[in-house]
Amino acid sequence: MKDLTIRMADVIGSFAENKDKARSLRETQLLPSLESGNHIILDWKDVDATTQSFVHALISKIFQDRGESAFKLIEFKNCSPPVKSLVATVVNYSIA
């Protein structure tokens, strides 16, 4: 198993709002990496805020499909308080 680190600010800038980019990132990088058995680090450094729809498009399907075991595969790093709150919200309703 190897790590895939994605610097979110490099992909989406300081405000993550484009759900089409989130969906594309999920489909082209996250899901293929998970299927290969890799560990994913989503580094939110320099991302000040996000929308719930962005986070939903990015990770909801993964947590719906894999449940709490997805926590072993995906790490959320350097989240600002607003980002951390929205990630927690999406994860909670995705695994419920």
pLDDT in tens, 48-86: 999 999 999 999 999 999 999 998 999 999 999 999 999
Which tokens sit at 1? 């198993």
- Domain-wise residue ranges, the chain: 3-95
pLDDT at 7 over 80: yes
* 86/21 Cα distance (integer angstroms): 17
pLDDT attached to residue 59: 98
d(CA 46, CA 4): 18
CB of 56 within 8 A of CB of 90? yes
